[in-house]
Amino acid sequence: MQQHLAQPRTPARIPRIRRIRTLRGLFAATAATGGLLAASLPGTAGAAANPYERGPAPTVASIEAPLGHYAVARTTVARSSVTGFGGGTVYYPASTADGTFGAVAISPGFTGTQSSIAWYGPRLASQGFVVFTIDTVTVLDQPAGRGRQLLAALDYLTGGTSPVRNRIDPSRLGVMGHSMGGGGSLEAAKSRPSLKAAIPLTGWNADTTWPEVRTPTLVVGADGDTIAPVALHSEPFYTSLPATLDKAYLELKGAVHRTPITPDTTIAKYSVSWLKRFIDADTRYEQFLCPLPAPGPTIVEYRGNCPHS
């Protein structure tokens, strides 16, 4: 919506009088909102700017782009240097000019390593997040273990020996994961309700009920998944999350269990929007989540609650 207002368009088929009325309506609404806020917050001129917003105003092109606004640096965390998870790679905005960023830890699936989720590193970090793609203690670890390891990775990232701790706001953290790693992201959110966002990607978990979760959660499933069929995993995950929670269910079209391990524009654009909206409280991204995205070439179904609270 905003980018349409910002871009002057040829008004050939829009009557002049209607344009003026629309613009006047816009200014009137803005003035009324400002007045209301000023009245309810004595001593302030209006709404305070969101201190967590990072990067320019988003567009469809910017959330779909292979790389975002920030140049990305990376550093390796050796397995031998940590406990509770298997080390990994940290991807982060190279610049310190914009202050700290929220952080996201991402777990691979059963038998997988960080290489299977590596594409999320630069993709998400370039949008303004510190991203930790981890290896697990063993590649056979189950979802509960992967959940604990995601939390250990976040604790490492924000702790005293982290090479990036000064770049992170430790109060704004999230988790993602593929398959059993996605199941692990639900485990992590369940045990740490202070997490701001969770995104299980073709998640797998023997526990399919998540009423305990208080973290805004985007559940991503694949219509052709025969390893974690959506009817047995992603759909019950989504349905069992509290009705009052900010939650969404994105079912990818023409996709399979391993679709999330290679770059995918649909996964990226909604993951970026979800992380921005809930880790950064950046309402500029609400436009991509509400009203609910319609089914289309890459989306079978999108469910959720709108508007987000």
Q: Choose the contact partner of 290 out of ligand 9J3, Zn ion, none; CB within 5 to 8 A by kind.
A: none
- In the block, residue with structure tokens 């692990």: 184
Q: Is 125 in contact with 70 (CB distance < 8 Å)?
A: yes
Euclidean distance between CA atoms 165 and 173, whole angstroms = 12
Question: Residue 291: is the preceding peptide bond cis (ω within 30°)?
Answer: yes
Three-class SS string for 3-71? HHHHCCCCCCCCCHHHHHHHHHHHHHHHHHHHHHHHHHCCCCCCCCCCCCCCCCCCCHHHHHCCCCCCC
Closer residue to Zn ion, CB minimum distance, 22 or 209:
209
Euclidean distance between CA atoms 67 and 122, whole angstroms = 7
Give the residue numbers annotated as catalytic, written as ranges.
Answer: 179, 225, 257
Closest approach, Cβ 196 to ligand 9J3, in A, equals 24
Closest approach, Cβ 117 to ligand 9J3, in A, equals 10
Tell which positions 187-246 bind ligand 9J3, by CB under 6 A.
204, 227-228
Q: Can residue 242 be called a binding residue for Zn ion (CB under 5 A)?
A: no
Closer residue to ligand 9J3, CB minimum distance, 179 or 217:
179
What sign does the CA torsion over 253, 275, 241, 307 have? negative
Instruction: Tell me the pairing of strands 247-252 and 299-304.
Output: antiparallel
Q: Choose the contact partner of 209 out of Zn ion, ligand 9J3, none; CB within 5 to 8 A by kind.
A: Zn ion
Euclidean distance between CA atoms 181 and 72, whole angstroms = 24
- Residue in 164, 180, 220, 272 binding ligand 9J3, rule: CB under 6 A: 180
Closer residue to ligand 9J3, CB minimum distance, 110 or 120:
110
- Residue in 55, 86, 109, 304 binding ligand 9J3, rule: CB under 6 A: 109
- Residue in 126, 133, 179, 215 binding ligand 9J3, rule: CB under 6 A: 179
- Residue in 123, 190, 192, 257 binding ligand 9J3, rule: CB under 6 A: 257
Q: Can residue 110 be called a binding residue for ligand 9J3 (CB under 6 A)?
A: yes
What SS3 state is found at 281? coil
* Rg of the chain taking only CA atoms, in angstroms: 20
Closest approach, Cβ 153 to ligand 9J3, in A, equals 17
Tell which positions 31-50 bind Zn ion, by CB under 5 A.
none
Closer residue to Zn ion, CB minimum distance, 164 or 213:
213
Q: Choose the contact partner of 92 out of ligand 9J3, Zn ion, none; CB within 5 to 8 A by kind.
A: none
Helix (H) or strand (E) holding 188: helix 180-191
The one-letter amino acid at 304: G
First to last CA, the chain: 19
Closest approach, Cβ 209 to ligand 9J3, in A, equals 18
Tell which positions 203-232 bind Zn ion, by CB under 5 A.
207, 209
Closer residue to ligand 9J3, CB minimum distance, 131 or 261:
261
Closer residue to Zn ion, CB minimum distance, 29 or 206:
206
Burial class from Cβ neighbours inside 10 Å (0-12, 13-18, 19+) for residue 222 reads buried
Binding site for ligand 9J3 (CB under 6 A): 109-110, 112, 179-180, 204, 227-228, 257-258
Binding site for Zn ion (CB under 5 A): 207, 209
